[in-house]
Structure 1
Amino acid sequence: MAWEIGGSLIVGAVLGGATSLYLRFVRSELFLFAIIVAFLGAEIANLLHVETLLTLLVAGFVTENATKRGSAELLHAMERSAAPVFVVFFALAGASIALGELASIWPLAVGIVAVRMLAIWGGCAIGARMGNASLFERRYTWMGLIAQAGVAIGLVTVIAEAYPERGAAMRTLFLSVIAINQLVGPILARLALVRSGEVSAEPEQPAATSPVAQLTDR
């Protein structure tokens, strides 16, 4: 366990440092480089028996904070290359949910979601009060923190592989919790933005074009 965590930090730091050097002195073919970094980092983590997710998280952290130029371009390249991976990843995650088990554990999933929301609300309220945040931040910050996915689904996969006997039931439970949070989270985030005045409640309408302008365009 110590090597899995400590080794992940070391390998991730080295990988992030190498990525920073590439961005500083080369900065070409970032789309291809992003794919190579992802696959190379995962393969090195497997060979050294360290946690892949933690390794790549540390690598991204080091890259972002050690690079003054090029990190935004690399992030954009990774976003472009990640779309097909996300499609397959989330499709496989959804296919692993067993409906038979879901029917028996949905009350537990709803309970976990409710407790998590309550904990986030309480933590945000206490933190905002201690930090002398504004009234809007105290009331609505927690609503933007409900949605979760990505790393959470990756951790669910790791847990399911680590505990094969109960892995299927645990994966169904955790994925159900994540699915509920993903359904409720964006709605609450939108509601928080509207109530805080950051966005308008009504969708913007396209500006009407006058008849004179239409004739001019023709």
Structure 2
Amino acid sequence: MGQLHAIEISPTLATAVLLLLAFLGGKVAQLFRLPSLTGQLIVGALLGPAALGLLSRELAGQGLQPITDLALMILAFTIGEKLEISVLRDGTRRILAILFGEALGAFVLAGLGTAGAAILLGTFASPGIAVAMGLVLGAIAIAGSPGATLVVTKELEDPGPLGRLVLALAAANDALAIMVFGLCLAIANATLGGQVSPLDMLLVPLLKTVGAVALGLLGGLLIDVVGGRFHNRSDVLIFGLAIIVGCGAAASALAVSPLLAGMAAGFAVVNRERRDTRIFRTLGDFAAPIYVLFFALAGSHVEIAAFAAGGAIGVAYIAGRFGGKIMGAAAAAPIGGMTLREGVRAGICLLPQAGVAVGFLVEMERQGALQEISAVAHPIALAGIVVAEVIGPAAARKVLAGGGCDRG
């Protein structure tokens, strides 16, 4: 263990070892009927700076950041493909009902639970700070992991109607989470002394969402119109990938969500009347090793200390998020014309959490007025992400493999 820390490993060799071991870890996980990404996450955690140290903090962070960015954009674009209007039209009522039910449940239970625990424990000097933290953590609790959902459904021969419903829900869920988080962050800033006007609280999240969607739609239109003129699949891949990555870079430069932009681009391509979907097919094989590295790198950020630092507030957050999503989806199921059992299963499938939530933590840490709550909220949310990414995909796979949605 100490030897790994002592040896200077080049980024190229570290990437090769990480890719190979994460791939093997995924295969081992599948032997136990677990999603491959669960094994990849565990391998990443073992090789990360908090364990064996094959990956240094610098390498796991900025060193391999381009791989993470590329994977997130490909995942987002691929999820956009699942938002085909003609397919989803019949399920709109179910999607909206479950979406708002699980999101509201997670926001309320995780937010109230963490704020209440912080007040009872006297974590902060005033209850107002605890409430501000509860708002931010409640918003983070809404976020899911469309990438994990996509990988789990791809590993099943037929995910069934529930799988198709959950894919659409996962994509819509993160779009909603981005808006709610922006609003709660602005309110928390105002509560703790930041200069944010009430108008900004409402307009900024809305404008950022609209901007990301508009950017993505433009990128998708370029891929479909220009990329459709190429006859060679390699040309389609190169052009499409350049636009997808460029779309993500432009979104980051404009301080809007790259994930939302990527999903909008995929949505634009798949919903064109005379569409060219070759880009989705060509991305499939290319993205496989990128996905393996992405989930392994996500696991490498695991800090055992994060679990200890979370304490009772962390338990309240994780229990509130899990319980809120499942009970919220179950409560909303009848509104969407679904049974209680179907609602519970849909809620379980939405438990995984990753990319967007990590982005929220980065954004929270950049807020000068929120340093006090960030010191407490960051390890709590990070622990929640780890638990959700280890338990969530396995639970989702079990539910999807067993069916559970009778309507197509």
Q: TM-score, normalised by structure 2?
A: 0.41
**Larger C-alpha radius of gyration, 1 or 2?**
1
| Structure 2 counterparts to residues 138-149 of structure 1, below 5 A | 138-149=343-354
Match 1:33 to one of 230, 239, 262:
239
- Any conservation in 1 of the 2:306–2:383 contact (CA below 8 Å)? no
How far is the alpha carbon of 1:123 from its aligned partner? 2.2
CA offset digits 1:52-86 (Å, max 9, x no partner): 23322322222222265433x32233343334444
Match 2:271 to one of 29, 48, 65:
65
How far is the alpha carbon of 1:103 from its aligned partner? 1.4
- Any conservation in 1 of the 2:353–2:385 contact (CA below 8 Å)? yes
Counterpart position of 1:184: 391
2:360 and 2:291 mapped to 1: Cα distance? 15
Counterpart position of 2:115: none
How far is the alpha carbon of 1:36 from its aligned partner? 0.9
Counterpart position of 1:12: 216
How far is the alpha carbon of 1:190 from its aligned partner? 4.1
- 2:357 counterpart letter in structure 1: A
- The change in CA–CA distance for 1:118 and 1:56 in structure 2 (over 3 A counts) is same
- Any conservation in 1 of the 2:309–2:380 contact (CA below 8 Å)? no
- 2:282 counterpart letter in structure 1: A
Q: TM-score, normalised by structure 1?
A: 0.69
Q: Does 1:113 pair with 2:321?
A: no
Match 2:225 to one of 21, 29, 43:
21
Structure scoring higher RCO (CA < 8 A, sep ≥ 6) equals 2
- The change in CA–CA distance for 1:16 and 1:135 in structure 2 (over 3 A counts) is same
Aligned to 2:271, the other structure's residue is in SS state helix
- Any conservation in 2 of the 1:160–1:170 contact (CA below 8 Å)? no
- The change in CA–CA distance for 1:146 and 1:117 in structure 2 (over 3 A counts) is same
- Any conservation in 2 of the 1:35–1:81 contact (CA below 8 Å)? no
2:226 and 2:351 mapped to 1: Cα distance? 36
Q: Percent identity?
A: 25
- The change in CA–CA distance for 1:192 and 1:56 in structure 2 (over 3 A counts) is closer
Match 1:153 to one of 348, 358, 364:
358
How far is the alpha carbon of 1:181 from its aligned partner? 1.3
- The change in CA–CA distance for 1:158 and 1:59 in structure 2 (over 3 A counts) is farther
How far is the alpha carbon of 1:3 from its aligned partner? 5.1
- The change in CA–CA distance for 1:172 and 1:195 in structure 2 (over 3 A counts) is same
How far is the alpha carbon of 1:105 from its aligned partner? 0.8
CA offset digits 1:125-181 (Å, max 9, x no partner): 222222332464245332222223343334444444556946676443323212211
- The change in CA–CA distance for 1:47 and 1:132 in structure 2 (over 3 A counts) is closer
Aligned to 1:81, the other structure's residue is in SS state helix
How far is the alpha carbon of 1:120 from its aligned partner? 1.7
2:355 and 2:397 mapped to 1: Cα distance? 20
How far is the alpha carbon of 1:23 from its aligned partner? 4.5
CA offset digits 1:7-27 (Å, max 9, x no partner): 323222211211221344336
The runs of 5 or more residues in structure 2 that have no matched partner are 1-203
Q: Does 1:125 pair with 2:348?
A: no
Q: Does 1:77 pair with 2:282?
A: yes
Moved more, 172-181 or 75-84: 75-84
The runs of 5 or more residues in structure 1 that have no matched partner are 199-218
- 2:276 counterpart letter in structure 1: G
2:251 and 2:308 mapped to 1: Cα distance? 37
2:367 and 2:256 mapped to 1: Cα distance? 14
2:268 and 2:401 mapped to 1: Cα distance? 35
2:274 and 2:288 mapped to 1: Cα distance? 26
- Any conservation in 2 of the 1:30–1:74 contact (CA below 8 Å)? yes
Counterpart position of 2:88: none
- Any conservation in 2 of the 1:93–1:153 contact (CA below 8 Å)? no
- Any conservation in 2 of the 1:20–1:67 contact (CA below 8 Å)? no
Moved more, 188-197 or 10-19: 188-197
How far is the alpha carbon of 1:196 from its aligned partner? 5.1
